[in-house]
Amino acid sequence: FDWEWQGVDADFDLVSSSVTADRTWEDSEVVEMFTITIPVPEGTERTVSYEVEPMSGSMDLGMMLYEGHVNEFYGRWVDGDKIGSSHGPGAAESIQSTYTDTTEVMLVVFNENDESGTYRFRVLDTATADAADLEPGIPERGSLELLSAHPIRGQADFRLSLPNTGRVDVAVFDAGGRRIATLVSSEMAAGRHSVAWNGRDDRGESAPQGVYFAKAQWPNGRESVRVVKLE
């Protein structure tokens, strides 16, 4: 479908590895909209991560990603499932997308509750951003985030954020609640970690298309992320 807008809150150009902006969400706001230009040298590609993280308050933020201006007022939906809004109040959200030529996108940030507060908006080139940009210290809260485009084809990439060191279990369950694949079952240090599911079960067989749930449990916390797998 089309999204209609008139005016944006900020424009960014991802010439370097990352762009960061601290924003305030007022009580009266419905959405915030940003245009971002992604320069891509000919013959190359760039994978970009868009992130929002509440810094104060209990906002339930989410994002929708659109292509650039089709005309003065209309944007076109990039991918029907390029939505980041699965982790609930106070949690960070992210979307990843890969570009093979210079592209202008429209990113719409929305809030699913009536809370106000401040949040951090970041755009990162995943190949060239410094480790300090990608892993900014010990997270204040634990979370499991799906980074791959959704629904997935093949591998699903997750980011696991741990506020404390301890025993961690991450596994994939089918819609019937059966554990089909163990991704992590070990002690892990506090920080942010990459976790991947190759789309196969613990026997090495490809899981059929359908709805799955990646579930993470760590000391004093747990989270579940819905994953739709295509053949």
3-class secondary structure for 152-204?
A: EECCEEEEEEECCCEEEEEEEEECCCCEEEEEEEEEECCEEEEEEECCECCCC
Domains of the chain: 2-134 (2.60.120.380), 143-230 (2.60.40.4070)
pLDDT confidence tier of residue 188, bands split at 50, 70 and 90: confident
Which residue would you say has higher pLDDT here, 15 or 31? Answer: 31
Which three-class secondary structure state does DSSP give residue 133? helix
What does pTM read for this prediction?
A: 0.54
Please give the average per-residue pLDDT across 97-112, as a whole number.
87
- Tell me the C-alpha to C-alpha distance, in Å, between residue 166 and each of 26, 190, 191, 219: 37, 8, 11, 6
The pair of structure tokens assigned to 102 is 């210079």
Q: Model confidence over 63-72: pLDDT tens digits?
A: 888 875 444 4
Please give the average per-residue pLDDT across 67-80, as a whole number.
50
Nearest to 227 by CA among 171, 161, 143: 171
How far is Cα 21 from Cα 121, in angstroms, rounded to an integer?
A: 5
Nearest to 121 by CA among 32, 35, 50: 50
Query: In this predicted structure, what is the pLDDT of residue 70?
Result: 40
Query: In this predicted structure, what is the pLDDT of residue 80?
Result: 45
The percentage of residues in the chain with a pLDDT greater than 70, rounded to a whole number, is 80
Task: Tell me: cis bond preceding 208? Omega within 30 of 0 counts.
Answer: no
Which residue would you say has higher pLDDT here, 13 or 122? Answer: 122
The DSSP symbol for 106 reads E
Please give the average per-residue pLDDT across 58-85, as a whole number.
63
In the predicted model, what is the mean pLDDT of the chain? 81
Q: Are strands 221-230 and 152-153 parallel, antiparallel or unpaired?
A: parallel
H-only helix segments in the chain: 131-134
Please give the average per-residue pLDDT across 65-91, as a whole number.
60
Query: In this predicted structure, what is the pLDDT of residue 206?
Result: 94
Q: Model confidence over 116-166: pLDDT tens digits?
A: 888 888 888 877 654 445 545 577 788 998 887 778 888 888 888 888 889
What value, to the nearest 5°, has the Cα angle with vertex 97 and ends 195 and 93? 60
pLDDT confidence tier of residue 168, bands split at 50, 70 and 90: very high
Q: How many CB atoms lie within 10 A of CB 148?
A: 16
Q: Does pLDDT of 101 surpass 70?
A: yes
**What residues contact residue 53 under an 8 Å CB cut-off, 6+ apart?**
92, 93, 119, 120, 122
